[in-house]
Structure formats: C-alpha cells, structure tokens
C-alpha cells in the first residue's frame, strides 16, 4: 500500500509538472506574439511620424509678389543669382553662382564658400537655368521676373521672389531667405551678431576720427562713381557706423536709385571728404584720373587718407558677409 501510495504521488506530481511546462510554453508564445505586435505597432508609429515630419517641412509660402510657392522639404539644387552672400552665410551651397562676362567676373569675396560652384549668367537665361535642373529658384526682386518670366521660371522649378523693390534692405532679405529654408533662428542670429559688431566698430571708429567725413568711390574705365548714402557700402558707412556724409554724397543720392552713381568732374571738385575708400577697377591699367588736379585737391587725397581696394573685394556688393568684411576693412584703416 505504501508503494502504491508513493507511486500515485509521483504520477500526480508528474502531471502537475507537465501542466506547468505547457503553461510556460503557452505564456512564452503569447509573450512572443505580444512583442511582435508591439514592435509592429512601434514601427508603424515611427513611419507615420516620419511621414508627418516630411509633410511638415514641405511648406507653402507667399513671396513678395503674392505667389504661393511650395518650397521642397530639403532643396538640394538651388539657384539664387546675386543672393549667394546670404546662402553662404546660412551654410547653403547653390548649384550655380552669379557671373557676368561669360563667367569672367564673379563675387570673388565669396569664393571660400563657392570655389567649386559653376557660374551662370546674371540675367538667368532659361536654357542655362534648365541645364542645372534646379529644385528651387530664388529671385532677388520683382524686376527679375517682369512680363511672363515668372511663369517661365516656375515651370522649371518652384520660384520664390524675395523683394518687391529694385533695392531691398539686406537685413530683410536675409530673414526672408532664412524663412524659405526654415532657418529663421540662424538668420536672426547672424543679424544679431552683425549688429553687435557694427555697434562696437561704430564706437571705436568715431572715437578715432570723430565727425570727419568719409566717402566711397569706384573708379572704372577712367570714370568715377560714388556710393549712395543708403545702399551698398554707403549703408555700412553712414547708417551702421554713423560716419559723417559729405554734402556731395547726399546731393547725388537724392536724385539716384542706383547703388553707385557716376560723379562728374565738377561734383568731384566739390567733394570735401576727409577719408576716401577707393575701389580701383583701373588698377594696373593706368588710373589716369588719379593724376588729375581735381582728384589731387580733394582733402582726403591731400592728407593721404586714401584707402585703395580692388574690385574683387566686397565693397561693390551687399549682404551679411560683404558688410562684415567692409567693417573689418574700415577698422583696419581708420581706427586707432
């Protein structure tokens, strides 16, 4: 009886152990199925999130002309003729860069960031634009797309016009281009850094020369051009740095919308600037006008306050990089 009793206990124990084993296997299978389901749900969620992010970064913006433009999520082949200063500042490399004279003249001061970028004619012929297969075209102003040009360019790629005026404030253009690329914060930081630099330079320069007047002239083909009071390097000199404007500069600026306006010999004789920044495109070809008595009698020339630069420098251009380089030049020349 004892043996029979022990045998019955062992059989019962075996049945219990077998049942537990089956339960564990079933639980393991259920856990495995549950993990697979959770993993599939997670992957599906990630895919949905990725799709949402992709859709969120492809934005429809309204440009300066009122056009609704769908900007690609991550433009890779951008053409923004004469706006390269802003692109380089934002860390964006265009697929082609502005040029004149069949690529003979480019924005040399930007070549650290554009050295390997091919050129495109400044007036953006449709055939040339098409050849670069752009996925985004950015135009500086409405004048670049007059007539039916906008429709023609927009057939090639989404086309965004930055400003409505012939000469738009470079600060506004920087912020607008930052918006196009979803880099608003970076554009704002670039602008803040520039303003801080300009404010410090203004104090340093004015403590050095006080209210002495400054002018910027461009000599090309024996003809002098003077910068506008509010455009290009004039904006840096007179607005950002608060330097004194010669009367002739104010007079010519009131009657011209150009960045640089031709100045007659008669007006040149009236130029009473104490300091002159000269962009000399005639350097190496004679610069005959620099020997003329009218030039020699300007106060800045008499006192040796002429600071000469080649046309490859930033003085003929505009933008955050150009303006920063000009401030560095001015500091180097006239700050103590």
- For 128-185, write each residue's pLDDT tens digit: 999 999 999 999 999 999 999 999 999 999 999 999 887 889 999 999 999 999 999 9
In the prediction, which pLDDT does 37 show? 52
For residue 2, name the pLDDT band (cuts at 50, 70, 90). Answer: very low
In the prediction, which pLDDT does 49 show? 47
Q: Does pLDDT of 269 surpass 60?
A: yes
Give the domain ranges of the chain. 60-187, 206-334
Whole-structure pTM value:
0.82
In the prediction, which pLDDT does 252 show? 96
CATH superfamily of this structure's domain 206-334: Nitrogenase molybdenum iron protein domain (3.40.50.1980)
In the prediction, which pLDDT does 5 show? 42
- Name the residue with higher pLDDT: 13 or 222: 222
Q: Does pLDDT of 121 surpass 50?
A: yes
In the prediction, which pLDDT does 20 show? 46
Q: Does pLDDT of 22 surpass 80?
A: no
Determine which of 60-64, 115-119, 164-168 has the lowest per-residue pLDDT on average: 164-168
Nearest to 120 by CA among 79, 180, 86: 79
Sequential DSSP letters for 101-167 = TTTTB--GGGHHHHTTPPEEETT--HHHHHHT--SEEEEEEGGGGTTTHHHHHHHHS-EEEEESSSS
Q: What is the mean pLDDT of the chain?
A: 87
Cα-Cα-Cα-Cα torsion 73, 75, 80, 84, nearest 10 degrees, comes to 110
170 and 233 Cβ atoms separated by less than 8 Å: no
* Start-end of H helices in the chain: 2-57, 84-89, 111-114, 126-131, 149-156, 170-180, 184-209, 232-234, 247-254, 265-269, 293-296, 299-302, 320-334
For residue 205, name the pLDDT band (cuts at 50, 70, 90). Answer: very high
Task: Decide if 60-187 and 206-334 have a common fold.
Answer: yes
In the prediction, which pLDDT does 103 show? 86
Q: Which CATH fold topology does 60-187 show?
A: Rossmann fold (3.40.50)
CA atoms in the 13 A half-sphere facing the CB of 183: 19
Sheet holding 78-79, edge to edge: 78-79, 136-141, 159-163
DSSP code of residue 304: T
Handedness of CA 165, 167, 172, 178 (dihedral sign): positive
Q: What is the crossing angle of helices 170-180 and 184-209, to 10°?
A: 160
In the prediction, which pLDDT does 175 show? 98
In the prediction, which pLDDT does 283 show? 83
Q: What is the crossing angle of helices 320-334 and 184-209, to 10°?
A: 20
Q: Whole-angstrom Cα distance, residue 83 to residue 233?
A: 16
Q: Does pLDDT of 45 surpass 80?
A: no
In the prediction, which pLDDT does 166 show? 76
In the prediction, which pLDDT does 98 show? 97
DSSP code of residue 290: G
In the prediction, which pLDDT does 231 show? 94
């Amino acid at each position: 009886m004892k043996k029979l009793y022990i045998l019955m206990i062992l059989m019962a124990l075996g049945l219990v152990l077998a049942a537990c084993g089956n339960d564990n296997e079933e639980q393991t299978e259920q856990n495995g199925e549950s993990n697979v389901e959770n993993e599939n749900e997670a992957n599906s969620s990630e895919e949905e999130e990725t799709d949402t992010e992709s859709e969120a970064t492809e934005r429809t913006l309204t440009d300066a002309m009122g056009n609704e433009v769908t900007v690609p999520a991550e433009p890779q082949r951008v053409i923004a003729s004469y706006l390269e200063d802003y692109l380089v500042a934002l860390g964006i490399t265009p697929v082609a860069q502005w040029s004149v004279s069949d690529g003979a003249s480019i924005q040399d001061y930007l070549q650290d960031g554009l050295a390997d970028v091919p050129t495109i004619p400044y007036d953006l012929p449709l055939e040339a634009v098409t050849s670069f297969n752009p996925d985004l075209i950015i135009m500086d102003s409405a004048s670049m797309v007059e007539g039916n040009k906008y429709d023609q360019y927009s057939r090639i790629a989404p086309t965004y016009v930055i400003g409505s005026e012939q000469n738009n404030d470079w600060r506004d253009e920087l912020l607008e281009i930052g918006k196009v690329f979803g880099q608003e914060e970076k554009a704002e930081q670039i602008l803040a850094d520039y303003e801080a630099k300009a404010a410090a330079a203004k104090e340093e320069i004015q403590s050095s020369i006080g209210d002495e007047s400054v002018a910027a002239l461009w000599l090309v083909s024996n003809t002098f051009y003077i910068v506008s009071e509010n455009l290009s390097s004039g904006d840096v000199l007179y607005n950002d740095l608060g330097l004194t404007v010669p009367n002739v500069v104010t007079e010519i600026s009131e009657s011209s919308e150009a960045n640089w306006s031709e100045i007659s010999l008669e007006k040149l004789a009236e130029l009473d600037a104490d300091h002159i920044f000269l962009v000399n495109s005639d350097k190496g070809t004679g610069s005959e006008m620099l020997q003329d008595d009218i030039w020699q009698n300007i106060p800045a020339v008499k006192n040796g306050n002429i600071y000469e630069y080649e046309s490859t420098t930033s003085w003929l251009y505009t933008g955050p990089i150009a303006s920063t380089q000009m401030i560095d030049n001015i500091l180097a020349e006239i700050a103590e």
